[in-house]
Structure 1
Amino acid sequence: MSQLESNRPLSGIDALLARTPFFYGWAVVAIVFITMGIGVNVRTSFSLLFPAILNEYGWDRATTAAAFSIGFAVGAILAPIVGKLLEFIAPRYLLSISAILVSVGFILSTYSTEPWHFYLTLGVLMVGTGIVLTYVGQSMFLPNWFQRRRGLAVGVAFSGVGIGSIILMPLIQETISAEGWRDACWLMAGLLLIIVLPMNFFLQRKEPADIGLFPDGDAAPDKEMTRGQQTAADPVVDVEWVNTDWTLRKAVKTATFWWLALACSTALYVWYAVQVHQTKYLIEIGFSELEAASALGLVGFAGVLGQIYLGNLSDRIGREWVWSLSTAGFLLSCILLLMMEYVPSPTMMYAMVILQGGLGYGIATVFGSMPADLFQGRGYGIIFGTLSTLALVGGAVGPWLTGFFYDEGGNYHLAFYVIIAMSALSILSVWFAAPRKRRLVAGQARKRAMKAISS
């Protein structure tokens, strides 16, 4: 039962937080911003640790890289479990436990001497349980805090990953180069335990109702609106759908769930396939290693701006339009990659960067908002977790199948054509999922309200 339903007096830190409703709503975004800026980037730091571990132990690449693959698989399995646990356990506890387990994974890895040691430490503990600190875990509760500004809030929060990568990745690499990979692991464990753990344990909450607040940082609903205005501005389109007490069993019986799952799975196929292979591809077609690496970094920087802008835009024009625009960014960047094989122009490379980061990374923002628009309710956590697992299947298959096509054909032509087709399928699927037919975003509802009032 929520605080709003029970009317029990707040005490301690909850009472203090409830005194600043607007500030605290955005403070939640700031907490997620910092958590993901650290949590996501230390989780993906495996790519920086990988060469140093290879050099020290001399194992083959497949044996060593299996640690990340095992962790990725564990994370996919944990996603719906975490979603179910959120029905009973506050996210601040799950986030705190995840921060501790990832830290333990980093620390224990410094004592590892066999491959299976790394499978358990950097694999299961660091990559696997770290899923709670990423887009998946945060999207299970952050959308609860916003309705009118949901896309903007998620976009700002998720942009922390890009900012964090600009700051942390050079720091981690410098530590590895100067002090060794073990010191880098201790550094990352320290950041989690000193910053992420206490910040989430003391300040994070599942939903505004927990401390007597309302979404969007409101202290109370807007009572100055007339009943007619409130009715006209109501975002609900399908009353029966919105009033459904959604559970996973009910959700999987709808075509909407599966169209949304297909949209997300194909989108992550595209995202990871391009991200993993583009640096090697750019080098092979004539760009220097520095230019190729810089392109990847610029994609992340452009993604920061793109996520914030496109998140806000999705609150005004609808999730389907922004999803389509973002996915089209990947589609067009893939076409440019194909063209650059014949015309390796720096101008085309930077255009590809802008399309991929500035547009393509907007997928993350809508992915964090759209399921909440459709399946709000007590079962949302496990529903989103299941959707995430299905999406991660696409993310896992994309890089592997792209590499397979290259090995078989000796080039990326077929792989890029498949990526283009997957992009188109993702766009088509999101329109069949049709969130707008269940609940409008704030901009659409406001436009409908103005029409109703003027008439």
Structure 2
Amino acid sequence: MLLAECTKYWQFILCLSILGGVSSAVITTVSIAVLSHWFQRRRALASGLCMAGSSAGGAIIPLILQALFARKGWKIAIRIIAFIALGCYTLGIIMVRGRLPGRSSKAMIDFRAFRSLRLCFLTVAVFSFEFIIFGCAALLPTYVRFAGMSTTVQFYSLTVLNSMSFMGRVLPGFAADQYGRFNVLLCLVLVTLVVMAAVWLPWGSHNDATLYAVVAIFGFSSGGWLSLAPVCAGQLCRTEEYGRYYGTIYFVAAFGVLLTVPVGGDLLQSTSPQVLIGFYSAVLLVGFIALALSRWALLDWHWKWRVKL
């Protein structure tokens, strides 16, 4: 509601960036942590279904806003979205509850968790995933414009990204519960890395069809990263510690979200669209290696291919 009244830059920073960012972080952390109280065998699927809601919103809300901006203007459009959010949050507050008793003496962020090397590697991996996901999502329309494509491609590329991310958050959950959360996540990251380096980097800006195909694959795979990374964190700790581990990992990863847009935007303006994709591919390679090292450490440094992990 306050966002609808913003007219100056500092007001948008205060309302959307600070208040919106803090509240979204609290809601996400609590929601994901509560899942671990109720699910063990099907935790990956439950996480995927939970995280799919944000993809659905990312695909539907831009379509709603596009129609509302043209007909009702900025203020009315934002107020309508605010009431939609109010309804969703009200249902969430009513329905979400924990199973295990809370421990008020435990902080949500506990840096002592980094005594575990496997957690350190996973944190590096999640940092790189968040850096890539939010950088690509935020800069995709700008990338399309710098690549010389139409405004229609700018709009629909985001819709394709979020639509495929919805499926990517749900479907890999089935496979992860059957074949291992780390195993499936590693496969998704590897596929994305190959597509970014072998297709998006050399040919992604050449025509619309190639870009749509690459964005669809990236959206599906990155959706899996978002839903499976928290589940992998849950395999490093006891259920009652999950909230602290999750909060600590994503506290560090949040700096990746903070840095990715200014760094990526500067690269895009000062160099070329393909340099940006090359940079993101290199960051993703670091994340892939860190995730593999976390899995290796979890196996006590005895790499086994066929272990369900």
* Residue 121 (structure 2) pairs with residue 259 (structure 1): yes
1:314 pairs, out of 150, 153, 176, with 176
SS in 1 for 2:98: coil
Shift in alpha-carbon separation, 1:353–1:256, aligned structure 2, 3 A: same
Identity %: 20
Shift of 1:115: 4.1
What are the equivalent positions in structure 2 for 1:9-408 lying under 5 Å apart?
A: 106=1, 108-112=2-6, 114-134=8-28, 136-197=29-90, 199-207=91-99, 248-335=110-197, 336-340=199-203, 344-408=206-270
Shift of 1:124: 2.7
SS in 1 for 2:272: coil
TM-score (normalizing by structure 2): 0.84
Unaligned runs of 5+ in 2: 102-107, 301-305
Output the CA distance in 2 between the equivalents of 1:168 and 1:403.
Answer: 24
Shift in alpha-carbon separation, 1:248–1:437, aligned structure 2, 3 A: farther
RMSD: 2.8
SS in 2 for 1:158: helix
2:276 pairs, out of 415, 420, 435, with 415
Output the CA distance in 2 between the equivalents of 1:296 and 1:375.
Answer: 36
- CA-to-partner distance for each residue in 1:87-108, whole Å, 9 max, x for gaps? xxxxxxxxxxxxxxxxxxx2x3
Shift of 1:317: 1.6
Shift of 1:298: 0.9
Letter in 2 for 1:203: M
Output the CA distance in 1 between the equivalents of 2:87 and 2:269.
Answer: 45
- CA-to-partner distance for each residue in 1:168-227, whole Å, 9 max, x for gaps? 332233223322222223223322333422x233322113x57xxxxxxxxxxxxxxxxx
SS in 1 for 2:240: coil
Shift of 1:263: 0.6
TM-score (normalizing by structure 1): 0.59
Shift in alpha-carbon separation, 1:406–1:167, aligned structure 2, 3 A: closer
- CA-to-partner distance for each residue in 1:302-344, whole Å, 9 max, x for gaps? 1111221111111122222222222234323423222226x72
Q: Which has the higher contact order (CA 8 A, sep 6+)?
A: 2
Unaligned runs of 5+ in 1: 1-105, 211-245, 439-443, 449-455
Name the larger-Rg structure: 1
Output the CA distance in 1 between the equivalents of 2:3 and 2:210.
Answer: 42
Letter in 2 for 1:187: I
- CA-to-partner distance for each residue in 1:364-398, whole Å, 9 max, x for gaps? 11122111121224343232112112112122222
8 A contact 1:152–1:315 mirrored in 2: yes
Output the CA distance in 2 between the equivalents of 1:277 and 1:109.
Answer: 22
8 A contact 2:109–2:248 mirrored in 1: no
SS in 1 for 2:115: coil
Shift in alpha-carbon separation, 1:340–1:176, aligned structure 2, 3 A: same
8 A contact 2:49–2:170 mirrored in 1: yes
Shift in alpha-carbon separation, 1:182–1:430, aligned structure 2, 3 A: same
SS in 1 for 2:118: helix
Output the CA distance in 2 between the equivalents of 1:291 and 1:120.
Answer: 31
8 A contact 2:167–2:223 mirrored in 1: no
